[in-house]
Chains A and B, each alone.
Chain A
Amino acid sequence: MNNPQLNKHGELQHLLSTEGLPAAILYDLLDKAASFLGTSESRDIKKLPLLHGKSVFNIFFENSTRTRTTFEIAAKRLSADVVNLNIGSSSASKGETLLDTVDNLCAMHADMFVVRHSQSGAAHLIAKHVAPEIHVINAGDGRHAHPTQALLDMFTIRHYKKEFCNLRVAIVGDILHSRVARSQIHALTTLGVPEVRVIAPKTLLPVCVEKLGVRVFHDMAQGLQDVDVIMMLRLQSERMQGATLPSAQEYFKYYGLTQEKLMLAKVDAIVMHPGPMNRGVEIESCVADGRQSVILPQVTFGIAVRMAVMSTLAGGK
């Protein structure tokens, strides 16, 4: 089976998932992001001409503020023309199909699509459909993947921990419904993290999750023991319906990250969260704002990582 993300030379054609990408490509993206970090933080030269004359269409079939904004900033810093479309409130509600929407935007000479959709596989469908000169970036599809989030998480880990090969990483929360978790797991295992743990009650874990290369824990105290990195996941409030969880209170008691539980990890462990956070549900405020939290740097790094992805796809080769 051909990896639909790579062209016939093995180069990145689309970014749809972190699964199946060679470690070399991931490292290239992280290195490139590091080179952009200075640029994006410097006040003087904000713009680079790498995407000059290119049109980037942010098509969001699902609401998002943070992801869309960081993609927009990243594209603008690369001098691209950016068009934002919140399809949730336009075409789809008029009955237009996903691919019709895409065809229309292609007719407007889009060079790159940044896509978010509530259905797993939406970005793959678009990537398969568009002409070969058009690039697709998956900004989150259903429960499947959110590769730029995972890449910025890897960037953050590398920034604070330098190496991947000696780490113990725990991902805590709603793994079952999380595209972020899936992409994190694939990225971590590809980059050589020797121990990736997932911590969740059984109702929030997909079957055979261990086949993704993780160790499963149901007890948070055991799972956090001696970890270097804690990656928290957002808990959607609808999980309390449909008999997945009894209450937010009970969830916080057993799976929320508190200062006390954080003490079980290594003293220099970092705490991450993809946002938006539910304070008091999956994470205690004093942890979210504490000295081990790197949640805000994650957001900053997100821009550099997205610049790296876009420039690799469009300007790369």
Chain B
Amino acid sequence: MTRWFEDITLNEAFPLGDHTFSAEEIIRFATLYDPQYFHTDPELAKHSHFGGLIASGWHTVSVGHRKMVDALFAEEERLRGLGQEPGVSGPSPGVNAMDFKAPVRPGDTVTYTLTVTDKRPSNSIPGWGLLFNQITAVNQRGELVYESHLVGFSKLRDYVMPLRLRLLLAITKVPVLSKLIRRAS
């Protein structure tokens, strides 16, 4: 969420919008990234236990990611509109769990929701915090399509670099000393 780490509320459902999957885009994604017959060939897919074409799980997840990015940008716009400086989100270190629950067929509309379930300052990157995000995807019949638990970086607004780190950073700017530090570490 492009709010500052400090302003992010936990366990609040944040709607990300929906997406209707066409057969054309299901086949296009699967041809590039998941070319199994039930994702690429509507005729052969009839022989599978799905009984027809279904989207690759990675496709439905990638669309969910796009929905989240769009929501971040919209939130950024909203905050700027209020005269506030938006927060900064960074790359993600990983995904704890991803469970595909129901297949997505051509014409299905999937609705995505983001909930931040926990947050803490990063141990490895000073000035950044970690967000524990849950994204759920539900189809037009109310069936759960997938549930995921992801980790994301978010910049701290109120971070003040400790004196020790500021000194270390200053030392690395002196060429001879930086060489010594690199050799020692």
**Do A and B come from the same complex?**
no
